[in-house]
Amino acid sequence: MIMIKIYKLKLHSRFLLLLFLSFTVFATAEGVEGDISLSNGGQLNQNSSYQHMSSINNGITFPEIQTFNYTISAGVVTSFVFSNNNISFDNLTLNNAPLISGSTVPANTVSIGATVTTANGFIRDIGYAVSQDLSNMENFTVIYNNGNSEQTVTFSTTTDKLKKGVNYIQLCAHNTLDADGLKSGIFTVYVNNTDEYIKIIEPGPIASRNPKIRAALYSAYGVDELKVIVQIFPGKSTNTASIYYTTGQGHFDGQKFLCFTYDGRSLRDKEQYTLSVGFTDNKGNFVGPQLVTFSVDNDPIAQLLPYPSPYNPNSGKPMKIKYILAEAASVTINIYDRAGKFISKVTDKSSGTEGANYAQWNATSYAGDSLANGIYICEIITNNGKENRRYRSFAILKK
């Protein structure tokens, strides 16, 4: 015989209480069975009252009518306690702290736990399910299977089943007197590796006086462009007043990367600056700031960098050639061997923009031949009314 008693609910905020449980209640004193049904499909409405109706069946008496009046506002559920089969869950935890549905954790390995109590018999087993799909919450991992000695069990276990993004966690327990078990509410947990929240791609260690700013930003709660803060500080720290401040509004590209060319006053040649990027997610959590220090070089060709060096042509990946220009110009890139013999032309009068640019080379000669191991020379020629050249050596080492 199934007995259901909802005896405690603590709601601290707005939370979609997911009663995906197949509760069966006795709707009348005569014992006619019926399903719990809420008009909006299982969610509690704001500013509404809910009742647990009492009934009698086979001599089992439910408590008197209980009315719950809740105004659901801006927080989350910190505890969800109910009983069925005389089993109750309490003190649900995540990383040994009270479980808050909507929690964010930094990794997929976390501890989860609860206190489980039964009024009749003993706790037979306890399990948990983790899924990224609400329709697939039936694969429970048993973490307690003692069976015949305890009416109250407090457990904590470590799981590595959470994945980046949204995860759903549910607990299940049985006692020794009933075949049917009890499932807890379903709780939402977001996994975010904090190292991946903000990744500054540009500028690198060397930049032009109007550097490109490019960064990857991530949050499971979402990134609002207005909540992205970009600042530049003089020197190697952020302890002084910033010389530049902007939000992310209008500075995101189609791939949702923060991506734009610095539009403040030109930075001074040969001086160092610190870029700071941070944002507040849609749950009000501040992420960052992520910092990078760079030096300004206003030479016409501020940097020429073929990489990796040594380069292995058998890697299946082309060599990249990075170059930084003080101003937009046409660009030609040539490759020579150590004796100065022409080997290959990488680009011929292509358009280079102010700031960082990239080219690729497949490490073959102009005739399509593979190259021997050795030292080679990369030449870049730029022209914006005045010709400039720069050279950089690199190595080829086949493996």
Least confident of 37-46, 186-195, 377-386: 37-46
Q: Which residue has the higher pLDDT, 272 or 163?
A: 272
Both 76 and 172 in a single domain?
yes
Q: Is the overall model pTM greater than 0.85, yes or no?
A: no
For the segment 87-96, the average pLDDT, to the nearest whole number, is 81
Q: How many CB atoms lie within 10 A of CB 11?
A: 19
pLDDT-derived band of residue 6, with 50, 70 and 90 as boundaries? very low
Contact 58, 74 (CB under 8 A): no
pLDDT-derived band of residue 213, with 50, 70 and 90 as boundaries? very high
54 CB burial (10 A radius; 0-12, 13-18, 19+): middle
pLDDT-derived band of residue 70, with 50, 70 and 90 as boundaries? very low
The pLDDT score that the predictor gives to residue 147 is 65
Q: How many CB atoms lie within 10 A of CB 28?
A: 12
Range of the domain at 305: 301-396
Q: Has residue 45 got a pLDDT over 70?
A: no
CA contacts within 13 A on the Cβ side of 136:
5
Least confident of 82-86, 182-186, 285-289: 82-86
Structure confidence by residue, pLDDT tens digits, 354-381: 888 899 998 898 888 889 999 999 999 9
Q: What whole-number distance in Å separates Cα of residue 4 and Cα of residue 180? A: 12
Q: Where are the alpha helices (DSSP H) in 106-212?
A: none
| Residue 270: φ, ψ to 5° | 70, 10
For the segment 348-359, the average pLDDT, to the nearest whole number, is 87
Domains in the chain, number = 3
| Residue 43: φ, ψ to 5° | -115, 145
Structure confidence by residue, pLDDT tens digits, 287-312: 888 899 999 988 888 889 999 999 99
Q: What whole-number distance in Å separates Cα of residue 210 and Cα of residue 200? A: 16
Cα distances (Å, whole numbers) of residue 214 to 273, 334, 344, 384: 16, 28, 31, 25
Q: Which residue has the higher pLDDT, 62 or 260?
A: 260
Structure confidence by residue, pLDDT tens digits, 48-58: 333 322 222 22
Q: Has residue 78 got a pLDDT over 50?
A: no
For the segment 175-194, the average pLDDT, to the nearest whole number, is 76
Residue 38's closest CA among 8, 62, 68, 60? 68
The pLDDT score that the predictor gives to residue 272 is 93
Both 252 and 138 in a single domain?
no
Domain final residue pick, 152, 176, 191: 191
Q: What whole-number distance in Å separates Cα of residue 59 and Cα of residue 237? A: 74
Both 10 and 86 in a single domain?
yes
Q: What whole-number distance in Å separates Cα of residue 16 and Cα of residue 121? A: 33
The pLDDT score that the predictor gives to residue 32 is 24
The pLDDT score that the predictor gives to residue 380 is 94
In the block, residue with structure tokens 């050249």? 389
Both 306 and 276 in a single domain?
no
For the segment 273-293, the average pLDDT, to the nearest whole number, is 87
Domain final residue pick, 255, 278, 296: 296
Both 216 and 158 in a single domain?
no
CATH number at residue 171: 2.60.40.10
CATH number at residue 331: 2.60.40.2360
CA contacts within 13 A on the Cβ side of 360:
5
Both 184 and 236 in a single domain?
no
Enumerate residues 6+ apart whose C-beta is below 8 A from 232.
Answer: 242, 243, 244, 262, 264, 267, 273, 274, 275, 276
Cis peptide before 308 (omega within 30 of 0): yes
Residue 248's closest CA among 221, 274, 268, 276? 276
CATH number at residue 289: 2.60.40.2840
Q: Which residue has the higher pLDDT, 87 or 274?
A: 274
Both 315 and 241 in a single domain?
no
Cα distances (Å, whole numbers) of residue 351 to 263, 318, 329, 358, 395: 21, 20, 6, 11, 27
Both 315 and 329 in a single domain?
yes
Domain final residue pick, 244, 268, 296: 296
Residue type, 192: N
Both 242 and 137 in a single domain?
no
Structure confidence by residue, pLDDT tens digits, 121-159: 888 889 999 988 877 788 899 988 876 688 899 888 898
Both 268 and 209 in a single domain?
yes
Both 177 and 213 in a single domain?
no
| Percent of the chain clearing pLDDT 70 (strictly above) | 76
Q: What whole-number distance in Å separates Cα of residue 317 and Cα of residue 203? A: 23
Classify residue 345 by its DSSP letter.
Answer: E
pLDDT-derived band of residue 196, with 50, 70 and 90 as boundaries? low
Cα distances (Å, whole numbers) of residue 345 to 152, 342, 379: 76, 8, 10
CA contacts within 13 A on the Cβ side of 275:
28
